[in-house]
Chains A and B, each alone.
Chain A
Amino acid sequence: MEREDMVQCDADGISGIALIGSPGGSGSEGGKRRAYFEKAAAGAGIPVSFYDWKDFPWGEKAGGMGHSIVKIDAPEWKSFRLCEMEALTGQYGERLRQLSRMPVGAFFNHPSAVAAVLDKRGCKKRLMENGVAVTEMYEESFSCGEELFGFLRENRVHQVFIKPVQGSGAAGVTALRFSPGTGKRVLYTCAAPDRGGLVNTKKLHRLEGEAASAFLDQLFTMDCIVEKWYGKAVFHDYFYDLRVIVQGGRIDYILPRLSKGPITNLHLNNHSMEFAELYLDGAVSERIGEECLRAAACYPGLKSIGMDVLLEKGSLRPRIIELNGQGDLLHRDVYGGNRIYRRQVEIMRAMMAEGKYIG
Chain B
Amino acid sequence: MREVNGQMGKSKTYSNDYEDYENGKDVAALAEDIMADPEFPGLEELIIGGWGCEYEDSCQPILDAIAEHPDKFSHITSLFVGDMNFEVCEVSWIIQGDYSRIWKAMPQLKELTIKGSTDLTLGEIEHENLESLTIICGGLGKDVLKEIEGAKLPGLKKLLLYIGVEDYGFDGNAETIRELLANSDFPSLTYLGITDSEIQDELAEVVLESKYIRQISTLDLSNGTLTDKGGSLLLEKLPGLPNIRKLDVHHHYLSDEMMGKLEGLSMETDLTEQEEAEKWNGKIWYNAMLTE
A182 and B56 CA atoms in complex are apart in Å by 7
| Contact call B56/A231, Cβ cutoff below 8 A | no
Q: Which residues of B contact A186 (CB under 8 A)?
A: 90, 93, 292
Choice from A182, A234, A260, A261 contacting B55 with Cβ under 8 Å: A182
Whether B85 is near chain A, meaning CB under 8 Å from some CB there, is yes
A227 and B86 CA atoms in complex are apart in Å by 18
A-B contact count (CB 8 A): 34
Main secondary structure of the interface of A (DSSP, over half): loop
Whether A287 is near chain B, meaning CB under 8 Å from some CB there, is no
| Contact call A184/B87, Cβ cutoff below 8 A | no
A181 and B22 CA atoms in complex are apart in Å by 13
Q: Which residues of A contact B280 (CB under 8 A)?
A: 201, 203
Given A261-B86, A262-B87, answer yes or no on A206-B292 (Cβ-Cβ < 8 Å).
Answer: yes
Whether B18 is near chain A, meaning CB under 8 Å from some CB there, is yes
Given A156-B22, A158-B18, answer yes or no on A181-B56 (Cβ-Cβ < 8 Å).
Answer: yes
A156 and B23 CA atoms in complex are apart in Å by 12
A182 and B53 CA atoms in complex are apart in Å by 11
A201 and B90 CA atoms in complex are apart in Å by 23
Task: Classify chain B: how many residues form its interface, as a range.
Answer: 10 to 19
For window 121-153 of B, CB contacts with A under 8 Å fall at none
For window 154-174 of A, CB contacts with B under 8 Å fall at 156, 158
| Contact call A262/B55, Cβ cutoff below 8 A | no
A181 to chain B: closest residue by CB: B56
B56-92 vs A: 1/0 string, CB under 8 Å? 1000000000000000000000000000011110100
- CB B241 to nearest CB in A, in angstroms, measures 30
Whether A267 is near chain B, meaning CB under 8 Å from some CB there, is no
Q: Which residues of A contact B88 (CB under 8 A)?
A: 231
B17 to chain A: closest residue by CB: A231
Whether A356 is near chain B, meaning CB under 8 Å from some CB there, is no
| Contact call A234/B85, Cβ cutoff below 8 A | yes
A87 and B55 CA atoms in complex are apart in Å by 39
A182 and B118 CA atoms in complex are apart in Å by 14
| Contact call A179/B56, Cβ cutoff below 8 A | yes
Whether B278 is near chain A, meaning CB under 8 Å from some CB there, is yes
A240-280 vs B: 1/0 string, CB under 8 Å? 00000000000000000000111000000000000000000
A4 and B203 CA atoms in complex are apart in Å by 64
Q: Which residues of A contact B53 (CB under 8 A)?
A: 181
Whether A313 is near chain B, meaning CB under 8 Å from some CB there, is yes
A232 and B87 CA atoms in complex are apart in Å by 8
Whether A126 is near chain B, meaning CB under 8 Å from some CB there, is no
Whether A349 is near chain B, meaning CB under 8 Å from some CB there, is no
Q: Which residues of A contact B55 (CB under 8 A)?
A: 158, 179, 182, 184
A261 and B278 CA atoms in complex are apart in Å by 17
Whether A177 is near chain B, meaning CB under 8 Å from some CB there, is yes
| Contact call B85/A179, Cβ cutoff below 8 A | no
| Contact call B22/A262, Cβ cutoff below 8 A | no
A201 and B85 CA atoms in complex are apart in Å by 25
B188-221 vs A: 1/0 string, CB under 8 Å? 0000000000000000000000000000000000
Choice from B22, B86, B93, B292 contacting A179 with Cβ under 8 Å: B93
Whether A239 is near chain B, meaning CB under 8 Å from some CB there, is yes
| B55, B56, B88, B93, most chain A CB atoms within 10 A | B55
A177 to chain B: closest residue by CB: B90
For window 179-198 of A, CB contacts with B under 8 Å fall at 179, 181-182, 184, 186
Q: Which residues of B contact A179 (CB under 8 A)?
A: 55-56, 93
B88-101 vs A: 1/0 string, CB under 8 Å? 10100100000000
- CB A310 to nearest CB in B, in angstroms, measures 11
Given A158-B18, A179-B56, answer yes or no on A231-B87 (Cβ-Cβ < 8 Å).
Answer: yes
| Contact call A260/B56, Cβ cutoff below 8 A | no
- CB A74 to nearest CB in B, in angstroms, measures 27
Q: Which residues of B contact A239 (CB under 8 A)?
A: 85-87
B285 to chain A: closest residue by CB: A203
Q: Which residues of B contact A203 (CB under 8 A)?
A: 278, 280
Q: Which residues of A contact B292 (CB under 8 A)?
A: 186, 206
A239 and B85 CA atoms in complex are apart in Å by 9
Given contacts A186-B93, A203-B280, 20 further A-B contacts (CB under 8 A): A179-B55, A179-B56, A179-B93, A181-B53, A182-B55, A182-B56, A184-B93, A186-B90, A186-B292, A203-B278, A229-B87, A231-B87, A231-B88, A234-B85, A239-B85, A239-B86, A239-B87, A260-B86, A262-B86, A313-B87
Can you report 20 residue pairs joining A to B where beta carbons are below 8 Å apart? A156-B22, A158-B55, A177-B93, A179-B56, A179-B93, A181-B56, A182-B55, A184-B55, A186-B90, A186-B292, A201-B280, A203-B278, A231-B87, A231-B88, A232-B87, A234-B85, A239-B85, A239-B86, A261-B86, A313-B87
